[in-house]
């Protein structure tokens, strides 16, 4: 089973914020791959689906970003999963806007959602880092992550979310390199 976690903050106020790119990606994956409806469970909203016979639970914590680990930890314990069964989609300041990286483990880079998950299940979960760019000055980071994407950035981010959703089945089989290649090709083709 794959626990596919999108990070973000609940509520319409945050819906289009850069910090909510994980929620946006999970929403598109659930829609594109005909998962069941979202329901409240594990201090989250979650939806069941599968990729080529591999069960997937898509999860969006409703605990706010800084407490995401509570929700993830609850789901991991309930299903008796290991951190290796978890993939977290989140925003990444240290990647240029539109860049994407998938890897297991790694640093927390000051990301409070990752820090919370790390404290509940340990560091060995998989991460999909979606670049939102850095505002250039540390004092502007908070406002940057809690702001909506600029008009000029919206199409690029929609294309990335579309490519991620289209290639998501590769994540369930652990084919992260192939996933990255497929996303890059889809973006190069303009799909």
| Active-site residue set | 19
- Residue 139 pairs with which residues in a beta bridge? none
Place of tokens 């329901």: 39
Beta carbons of 95 and 124 less than 8 angstroms apart: no
Q: Distance between terminal CA atoms of the chain?
A: 29
User: Could you give the angle at the alpha carbon of 62 between the alpha carbons of 15 and 179, nearest 5°?
Assistant: 70
Residues 6+ apart with CB under 8 A from 112: 65, 66
Tokens of 7: 């990070």
d(CA 175, CA 180): 9
């Amino acid at each position: 089973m794959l626990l596919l976690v999108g990070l973000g903050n609940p509520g319409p106020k945050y819906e289009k914020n850069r910090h909510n790119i994980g929620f946006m990606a999970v929403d598109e994956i659930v829609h594109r791959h005909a998962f069941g409806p979202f329901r409240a469970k594990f201090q989250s909203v979650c939806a069941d689906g599968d990729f080529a016979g591999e069960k997937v639970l898509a999860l969006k914590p409703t605990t706010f970003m800084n407490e995401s680990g509570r929700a993830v930890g609850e789901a991991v314990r309930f299903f008796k999963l290991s951190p290796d069964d978890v993939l977290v989609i989140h925003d990444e300041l240290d990647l240029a806007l539109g860049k994407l990286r998938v890897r297991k483990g790694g640093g927390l880079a000051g990301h409070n959602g990752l820090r919370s998950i790390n404290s509940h299940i340990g560091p060995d979960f998989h991460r999909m880092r979606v670049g939102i760019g850095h505002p250039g000055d540390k004092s502007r980071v908070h406002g940057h992550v809690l702001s909506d994407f600029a008009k000029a950035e919206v199409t690029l981010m929609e294309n990335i979310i579309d490519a991620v959703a289209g290639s998501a089945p590769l994540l369930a089989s652990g084919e992260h390199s192939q996933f990255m290649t497929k996303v890059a090709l889809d973006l190069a083709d303009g799909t």
